[in-house]
Each structure stands twice: as structure tokens, then as C-alpha cells.
């Protein structure tokens, strides 16, 4: 077995303190959740919810119950069904970031908004880079309508590339379209659950606010069992669960 060096910036004691303080913040300050459906679900599962202020206070029992459902590992597969990622242990995978609003035109050396041709070239280039394990919807083509720009990026990534895709939606309605694209690639819901193709990243807005769109995206991803890393908050939760053992 090959040895891999590890770099640690935080001690176990400091990590435990960070986790403890994060739990205190969630239980004493809570989060804003601007989604009535999610507020209702949280209240039904033990959270203290102020519906008028869209404020949620979590309980230690609720946090522990949620953390117990987080998988310790998961895998991703490419368009052809080959395993590309094993998120377990200390394995590291690289993907481009997102999402650039402008690009530097390599011919004119001018900064401009990207278009479809730029995106296709990006996907084709990325597929030839062996040390980049996944695609990301790294910028937004400006030559299509805003209402389809999120699903259009995923469409181009799946059409012209083979690597799994790190992506996300701009609207609640887009999730169904992007899910259906993955179902078309895999052939069905069972096949997609067995071989996940994407990561949907959803982020809270500072300070600790979940918009209607992002909170609904988290729920929809969980319901559809699509994208094993659903939200950056869950990635931190995975680390917290590991610390508790």
C-alpha cells in the first residue's frame, strides 16, 4: 500500500472546540431558513421554529440524529459508469472551482462574458487532464436565457465530457430538469442511486441564512438521493461525526 503524507493544521483539541462551538451556535443562535416547507419539516422533527421570523433553533438531540444519517463515505462514477471517486479515509480529489462571470479571451486577450463555445472547449480540455478528477460547471454561458443557464451548463458537461460534475441550481424548478438529465444518462432512478454522477453544492449565506432556493435544493437532493455531497454544511457534519468516535 502506498504511503501518503498528511498535513495537519489543527490539533484534535482545537477541532473538538470548533465542533463544540458550532453546535452551541446552532442551538443558541440558530439559522434563518426562508422556506416555509423546510421550517415545517424542522419543527416536526424537534427544532424550535419561529415561523414569523423564519428562525430555527436546533437541539443537541436533533443534531445527533441528523449526523447519524450522514454516510461515512460515498463514491462517484463517470458518464460511462466507471468509478472515479472514493470519498473515504484521507483520499483527495481535485475539481475546478465555479462559477466565473467572465473569461480572458486567449485570442484577443480581452476580458468578456463566456459563451457556449467557451464552455465546450473547457469541458474538452478538462477531459484530457488526468489529475483533475471531476468537472465543475465552472462558468455561466451568457448566450442563453438566464432561466436555463444552470441546467444548460450540466447539459453541456454531460454531452461533451465523461467525468462526474460538481454543479448546483439557480432556481427551485431547475432541479427536476437537472435530475432528469442524469436519469437519461444512467437509464433510471435505481441505476443513478447505485452510481451517482454529480455533486450538488448548496451553501448558506452569511450569517447563517438558508434561502428558499438553497434549502429546497438540499431537500430535493435528499429526497431524490442524488449527489452524495449535497451541501457544504454536510461535509463539515461528516467531519464532526468522525470526531465523535
Residue of 157, 202, 203 whose CA lies nearest to 181: 157
Task: Check residue 109 and give its pLDDT.
Answer: 96
Pairing state between β 48-50 and 198-200: unpaired
Sign of CA dihedral 52, 58, 61, 67: positive
Of all helices (H) and strands (E), which one includes residue 86?
strand 83-87
Q: Name the β-bridge partners of 56.
A: 31, 49
SS3 71: coil
Q: From CA 14, how far away is CA 160, in angstroms rounded?
A: 44
The answer to whether 136 and 98 have CB atoms below 8 angstroms apart is: yes
Q: From CA 156, how far away is CA 122, in angstroms rounded?
A: 10
Residue of 219, 205, 222, 176 whose CA lies nearest to 36: 219
The answer to whether 137 and 107 have CB atoms below 8 angstroms apart is: no
Task: Check residue 227 and give its pLDDT.
Answer: 54
**Cell match 433553533: residue?**
57
Sign of CA dihedral 127, 131, 134, 137: negative
Cβ-in-10-Å burial (0-12, 13-18, 19+) of 89 comes to exposed
Q: From CA 114, how far away is CA 190, in angstroms rounded?
A: 36
Task: Check residue 132 and give its pLDDT.
Answer: 93
Task: Check residue 57 and give its pLDDT.
Answer: 97
The answer to whether 74 and 196 have CB atoms below 8 angstroms apart is: yes
Per-residue pLDDT of the chain (245 residues; tens, 9 = 90+): 567 777 888 999 999 999 999 999 999 999 999 999 999 999 999 999 999 999 999 999 999 999 998 888 899 999 999 999 999 888 888 888 888 899 999 999 999 999 999 999 999 999 999 999 999 999 999 999 999 999 999 999 999 999 999 999 999 999 999 999 999 999 999 999 999 999 998 888 888 999 999 999 999 988 887 654 444 443 333 333 333 32
Amino acid at each position: 500500500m502506498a504511503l501518503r503524507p498528511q498535513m495537519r493544521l489543527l490539533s484534535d483539541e482545537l477541532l473538538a472546540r470548533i465542533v463544540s462551538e458550532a453546535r452551541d451556535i446552532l442551538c443558541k443562535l440558530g439559522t434563518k431558513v426562508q422556506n416555509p416547507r423546510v421550517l415545517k419539516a424542522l419543527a416536526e422533527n424537534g427544532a424550535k421554529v419561529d415561523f414569523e421570523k423564519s428562525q430555527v433553533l436546533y437541539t443537541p438531540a436533533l443534531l445527533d440524529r441528523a449526523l447519524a444519517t450522514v454516510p461515512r463515505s460515498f463514491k462517484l462514477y463517470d458518464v460511462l459508469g466507471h468509478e472515479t471517486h472514493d470519498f473515504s479515509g484521507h483520499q483527495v480529489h481535485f475539481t475546478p472551482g465555479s462559477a466565473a462571470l467572465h473569461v480572458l479571451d486567449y485570442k484577443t486577450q480581452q476580458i468578456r462574458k463566456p459563451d457556449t463555445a467557451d464552455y465546450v472547449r473547457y469541458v474538452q480540455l478538462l477531459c484530457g487532464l488526468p489529475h483533475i478528477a471531476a468537472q465543475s460547471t465552472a462558468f455561466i454561458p451568457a448566450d442563453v436565457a438566464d432561466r436555463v443557464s444552470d441546467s444548460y451548463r450540466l447539459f453541456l458537461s454531460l454531452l461533451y465530457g465523461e467525468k462526474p460534475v460538481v454543479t448546483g441550481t439557480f432556481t427551485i424548478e431547475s432541479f427536476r430538469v437537472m435530475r432528469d438529465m442524469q436519469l437519461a444518462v444512467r437509464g433510471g432512478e435505481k441505476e443513478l442511486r447505485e452510481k451517482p454522477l454529480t455533486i450538488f453544492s448548496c451553501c448558506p449565506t452569511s450569517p447563517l441564512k438558508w434561502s428558499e432556493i438553497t434549502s429546497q435544493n438540499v431537500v430535493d437532493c435528499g429526497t431524490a438521493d442524488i449527489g452524495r455531497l449535497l451541501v457544504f454544511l454536510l461535509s463539515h457534519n461528516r467531519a464532526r461525526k468522525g470526531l465523535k468516535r
